[in-house]
A and B are shown apart, each in its own frame.
Chain A
Amino acid sequence: MTVIQVFHYEQRMSVTLQCPGYPEDTLRSLADRLPCRETQLKSLLSLMGQPDQYSYPSFFIYGHRATGKSHVVLSVMKDLELPHASVDCVECVSSGLLFHQVLSAFFGPDAAALLPRCPSLSDFVRLYKQMSSNSPATQTRYIILDRAERMRDMDFSLLPALLRLQELVNDNVTVILLSEIVWEKFRPNTGCFEPLLFHFPDYSKVELVQILSWDHHPSYTPELYASYINILLGVFFSVCRDLRELRHLAALNFSKFCEPLEKGEAKESDIHKLWKNIEPHLQRAMQTVYLREVSSVQWEQQQMDEKEATTLRVLSAHAHIELPYYSKFLLIAAYLASFNPARTDRRFFLKSHGKIRKTNFLKKHEKTSNHLLGPKPFPLDRLMAIFYSVVDSRVAPTASIFSQISSLVTLQLLSQVGHDDQLDSPKYKCSVSLDFILAISRTVGFDVVKYLYDFL
């Protein structure tokens, strides 16, 4: 019940949201549609000022995933019918695409078509000026750049230029950058115009309950759904605060929650009974469907034919890889080369290494385990030398052995270190885990632990 009270309280608060220059009823509906983001909405609106006033040249809005950054900004733009161009920076593989999208949003596709083939920033500014002189802004124009962290990989001059675009084009335009990371990671070496920073904090548990309770099922009471959400958050809140993910999980598991109700085994008031029914199910969901070990469709199917109680094969259960015989040994050799210091090769792979040296070797010079340090690169020659002493039969060093190395690289079981053009002695790293190599060596009857320096 507390949830509902909070909900009403928030609603009452939203009525007070007022901003000159914008229609009041739209603002109210906007505030209703954006629960738990009233403060952000308010400050955003006050920053934006009245539509015909010049706004601050650039905002920088940051916050974690699914904290409603783009949702709030885009809802404001759409509901208040402000001229805006929304661009996802992931899509902009070149700055030209960004210019294209902005121009076509403001001045129509014809204007965008005037851009030259590989437009530079000055082309964009020139064209923008030209267009805006024909149709000057009556309201502030907004350019919204989602996932702005991608901008850092683009042309280095692009971000500073966009931050003071207002000055450059001499038009009432504001750039809003949305990002998951903080501004400090953006600031270029050369310095730039500082945007207004604006943080969207994470939702608290109460807020999450409130938001999730919004999409309650029409055939059940909101109270029931709210209690369902409470149970769900009780399980998942410790591992996941991503609203989108939680919403997805809530939708997936609700039918299971309602099962006793449908069957008539429980009433809506029997929260405890319902909880007992759903809790283990949600625990299982956390281990499988949340990690995407099991796809959501499979999960739903499993819910439907629950009686069969088939245990779904999760993705990571198929870790087994079939490899040709020599590939297995190549991989083992690569693993040994990656995790053993090169100087220990004499001790492991030489028949007459002598006893005295052995005791010397057992003195561990390095305290840290090589497995903690990760794989080290090794040259091809060393790999082959280990390979020939590891493999039990006499193998002719043929081209097909070498092609297996490169196919292991494409399978990403090995990774090539350094430049691609090293023909003479390429270096590799082994990128498989100890468990994997143990499984592989078991299939060929090779005791890999005996050859590992760390386990000596």
Chain B
Amino acid sequence: YNEALTAAQLNKNGCFVFKSASKKRKRQLGVGDDDNGSDRFRIGQKLWETVQMNTEVIQDQLNKKVLDSLAEFIKKHGLGCSSDVWRQRASEIPTAALMLGVNVPDHAMTFRSLCNLLQDSVTPFVVSVHAKECAVIPVKLLIQKVLEQLMGSGVSVDEEKEDDTALLQRTPCTISALCQWYKTVTKKCIQVSPERKENLTNNDLPQSLPVVVIFKDFEAFNSQVLQDFILICSRYTQELPFVFIFGIATSPSAIQHRLPHSVSSLLCIEVFHSLSCTQHLASVFDKLILNAQFPFKLSSRVIQVLVGVFLYHDFNVQNFVKGLQFSMLEHFNSQPLSLLCCQKQEALLSAKTLSKQNVEQIRHLPSFMRYVETQEPQEQVRLLTNDEHVKEVCQTLLKNLHKYHKNYYPILQCLHSLTSSLPKFPLGKHIRELHVSCIEKNLWETEEYDSALQLLRILAKDELVAALRKCAETLKSANTKRMQNALQQLEDFIGRLETLEEDSSGNGVISAKMEYQKTDLFQLQKTLLEKESRRTKRMNSFEVLRSQVMDFIDSLVREYLTPAEFQPLNEVCYYSSSGVLRHHPFYYLKVTDHSFRLTRFYDECS
């Protein structure tokens, strides 16, 4: 229980919730006196950190492009481009409309990295404002926010805290005051630290550092406030080089809806698109779930719940990652054998030193019981009585489990790259759908798989070769023996398909001449059917080869894409209680009071 508490403290978000959940678990499983709690905590914490790190890395990678182009945009305007004279006459303010999508909570991270990037590489004068802070009608609050942030940042640059803060209290809250301040600060900047200047922009003469104002949630701003602010700022564009960044969740036309022409004509808008959230999710999925290196796994039900919440409710990647982390916590807390859920070497080591209690728990695992049933009677007895033997078997089973994962993911990707271009996507458009159906049941028994294979069997040659090439690419990165073997076979097939070129053209064509005699409908049907059957008999060499390839693919699928449930000891790695997740307040899926009333209302209606 101690461990649960510390783990709960680790998770600041789900603190209270987690405590109660752990109590409940404890009662059910009776794991009050297990001794490996600290180990599990350590492993869990490590995995937690990997998740955190990986998501941040992914976010950075995904945002890099759009952030760099934004920085470029601001630099360009800061340095002044060819047409600056004209724009200043019309007092247009350069504005970047950053399209972010509706998953608002994910934006915080984007803006944080944007701020950091700008401050490091472009200008120290970056302000970001949030609609909540300054939604009141007079524009005063917004100006005050901007001033506070700017002058505050200037203070830290110049190490003259007392003077400037005193000044701020006395200066009126206007942009003209800001103007004055900006002049003095930039003068100081140039005089005091010319070398710092060079760091900022290694051009010969940067005439002005732009003042960047970021509106984090453009839609939420009161349009009157925005209009006033833009009008005021446009009066000062000559002295203060403003650049605006609008974080827009819906579409760029929101700007035109929100601002009248007289105001929007003061802006010089350029649109930047960030990556869509579904792409973001896909890369998180690739990195954290479809990865053999990451020992913790989710069952199909849990994935469905998490993805469902994402697609149906919030489009929020952060929430998805939180859900993943939460299920990880649950898993390490409720499953004592999660001790073995770590990298292979470590798992083998701890398998050697399993406690008596743990061995007993292994015996109670459904998957292990199934495994025992398949063994010889003599072996069964040993497994049920001899602890040492169980430990040894456990090690081999763990090895098998790791091997299974190592082979599973490359084949999954192969199958996905083959089927993702098929019409109507019988096996799903995204790899996550394929993954879910693979770990849920035997894929080859489903109708969708049959139809996919049928479609694959009529692929044209160049398409087939291209798809197989892609498969070969993915298999190259897998480094198990079996995968190398499969790769070799695949490359063999590709080679044969390519050399087929010459002779395939000649004998494939069947002379389609039909002697049209006067026959009745039945006769005609009969001859047509005969013709059809003759044609199938006489396959050309390409068709033969193609069906061989498909048989090979099919055999790979049947061998490697078996559901995880059938793997002994899968409970160690797989978290499967989707019900807990679904009804967890942390996940907000609790049925609300109000909605109970509503359902009654609805029931009465219908």
Contact = CB atoms under 8 A, between A and B. Distances in A.
B519 interface: no
Nearest to B585: A399
12 contacts: A93-B139, A315-B269, A321-B251, A322-B101, A323-B315, A324-B312, A349-B606, A350-B606, A385-B605, A397-B595, A399-B592, A411-B219
Interface string B589-606: 111101110110110011
A291 to B, nearest CB: 8
Given A385-B602, A389-B606, A91 B589 contact: no
Given A319-B253, A400-B309, A248 B592 contact: no
B580 interface: no
A351 B95 CA distance: 52
Contacts of A403: 314, 588
Contacts of B309: 400
Contacts of A284: none
A345 B261 CA distance: 39
B99 interface: yes
B249 interface: yes
Interface stretch (A4-12, A28-36, A170-178, A295-303): A295-303
A401 B276 CA distance: 22
A93 B268 CA distance: 26
A320 B251 CA distance: 7
Q: What 7 A-B pairs have minimum CB-CB distances, sorted nearest first?
A: A397-B595, A93-B140, A248-B90, A325-B312, A400-B313, A295-B268, A315-B252
Interface of A: 65, 88, 90-91, 93-94, 96-97, 100, 113, 244-245, 247-248, 251-252, 291-292, 295-298, 300, 313, 315-316, 318-327, 345, 349-351, 381, 384-385, 388-389, 396-404, 407, 410-413
Contact of B231 (A90, A244, A384, A385): A90
B253 A315 contact: yes
A232 to B, nearest CB: 15
A316 B588 contact: no
B98 to A, nearest CB: 12
A326 B312 contact: yes
A410 B595 contact: no
Given A324-B311, A404-B313, A410-B217, A397 B249 contact: no
Listed residue (A94, A252, A411) with the most chain B CB atoms within 10 angstroms of its CB = A411
B591 A396 contact: yes
B314 A400 contact: yes
A388 B235 CA distance: 51
Listed residue (A315, A321, A410) with the most chain B CB atoms within 10 angstroms of its CB = A315
A295 B86 CA distance: 13
A298 B594 CA distance: 51
Given A396-B591, A398-B588, 20 more contacts: A88-B232, A93-B173, A244-B90, A292-B265, A292-B269, A315-B255, A315-B271, A321-B250, A324-B311, A385-B605, A388-B602, A389-B606, A401-B595, A402-B594, A404-B314, A410-B219, A410-B220, A411-B250, A412-B254, A412-B257
Contact of A411 (B102, B270, B313): B102
A381 B601 contact: yes
Contact of B315 (A100, A320, A324): A324
B267 interface: yes
B589 A385 contact: no
Contacts of A398: 588-592, 595
Contact of A251 (B89, B232, B594, B606): B89
Contact of B90 (A93, A100, A113, A247): A247
B104 interface: yes
- Chain B, interface size category, equals 35 or more
Contacts of A292: 256, 261, 264-265, 267, 269
A411 B312 contact: no
A90 B232 contact: yes
Listed residue (A295, A320, A325, A350) with the most chain B CB atoms within 10 angstroms of its CB = A295
A327 B103 CA distance: 12
A300 B86 CA distance: 11
Q: Chain A: interface secondary structure?
A: helix
B194 interface: no
A413 B251 CA distance: 11
B496 to A, nearest CB: 44
Given A97-B174, A397-B598, A350 B605 contact: yes
A27 to B, nearest CB: 26
B102 to A, nearest CB: 6
B250 A396 contact: no
Contacts of A251: 86, 89-90
A252 B264 contact: no
Given A324-B102, A381-B598, A248 B86 contact: yes
B175 interface: yes
Contacts of A413: 250
Contacts of A248: 86, 89-90
A396 B90 CA distance: 54
Given A292-B269, A350-B606, A326 B313 contact: yes
B106 interface: no
Contacts of A322: 101-102, 276-278, 315
B138 interface: yes
B144 to A, nearest CB: 9
Contacts of A297: 81, 83, 87, 94, 268, 270
A245 B265 contact: yes
A248 B265 CA distance: 10
B219 A412 contact: yes
A381 B140 CA distance: 38
B318 to A, nearest CB: 14
A96 B174 CA distance: 11
Contact of A296 (B250, B255, B261, B268): B268
A384 B174 contact: no
Contacts of B312: 324-326
A320 B102 CA distance: 12
A349 B595 CA distance: 19
A119 to B, nearest CB: 11
A319 B92 CA distance: 24
Nearest to B105: A407
A321 B140 contact: no
Contacts of B276: 322
B206 interface: no
B172 interface: yes
A88 B605 contact: no
A8 B598 CA distance: 78
A300 B90 CA distance: 15
Interface in B169-217: 170, 172-176, 217
A218 to B, nearest CB: 13
A404 B595 CA distance: 14
B251 A319 contact: yes
A296 B232 CA distance: 21
Contacts of B565: none
B92 A296 contact: yes
A113 B588 CA distance: 54
A315 B256 contact: yes
A313 B219 CA distance: 22
A397 B592 contact: yes
B228 interface: yes
A318 B598 contact: no
B262 interface: yes
A318 B314 contact: no
A245 to B, nearest CB: 7
Contact of B174 (A91, A316, A400, A410): A91
A403 B271 CA distance: 29
Nearest to B144: A93
A82 to B, nearest CB: 21
A252 B132 CA distance: 38
Contact of B251 (A88, A318, A397): A318
A39 B592 CA distance: 72
A366 B181 CA distance: 62
A33 to B, nearest CB: 16
A315 B267 CA distance: 13
Nearest to B170: A113
B143 interface: yes
